[in-house]
Amino acid sequence: MTEGPDKNCPHRQQGLTRRGFLSSVSAGTVVAATLTEAPAAPMQKIEATGDSRAVTLRINGLSRKILVEPRWTLLYVLRDILGLTGTKIGCARGECGACTVLIDGKPRYACLTLAVEAEEREITTLEGLMDGENLGPVQQAFAEEDAFQCGFCTPGQIMAVEGLLRQNPKPSIDEIRLGVSGNLCRCGTYKHIFNAAAKAVQLKQKGGAL
């Protein structure tokens, strides 16, 4: 029986084997889903108005000074202003978790966070989990455990697991379930997501891929 989200979330040698084929396809899918960090979109000249202000956002270890309007969400700024499209637009009202990012190491919905709220705080997006072209441990675990189908929710799921493991390096299965309960998967791959989180624990302990 497929397990759904918790509503009480606080938030070979020759040839190719079947397993090898599936693993390679899975890894490619995760890379496609998670992306590499897109270069920042060329900044258009923004005319300052009484409703605009300059803010400094520290994203994936880099400080970016941009002009924003107070009403702009962090999701909008990440995707449309800075070109970091690994953060997905889902429901845009804090219900699905597709836009999950880390702020000071904790998962937050970017669609419910104003850009000005995140000023001078440590923001980590999906792109920030990669080491150059190499997947991070949680991303690798999702590939190995086939923890996705359509892949649209995968970035947010990965960020939720990453945030959980930063706070609790050895979570129990119940803690894993709770940790990702704020992220919906309409394909219903929750069991694989739970397995991926458990695999990510092993990968992080070993410092990378097994």
pTM for the model stands at: 0.76
- Could you read off the pLDDT of 28-65 as tens digits, one per residue? 445 444 444 444 444 444 444 558 899 999 999 999 99
Domain boundary among 107, 126, 145: 126
Helix 137-144 × helix 154-167 angle, to 10°: 120
Helices (H), the chain: 18-34, 74-76, 137-144, 154-167, 173-179, 190-206
- Could you read off the pLDDT of 103-112 as tens digits, one per residue? 999 999 999 9
Instruction: Label the pairing between strands 100-103 and 62-68.
Output: unpaired
Mean pLDDT value across residues 75-103: 96
Whole-number Cα distances in Å, 53 to 50, 82, 112, 115, 119? 8, 16, 19, 11, 11
**Does 122 lie in the same domain as 134?**
no
CATH number of the domain bearing residue 147: 1.10.150.120
CATH number of the domain bearing residue 80: 3.10.20.30
Q: CA 99 to CA 203: how far, in whole Å?
A: 24
- Residues spanned by the domain of 176: 130-206
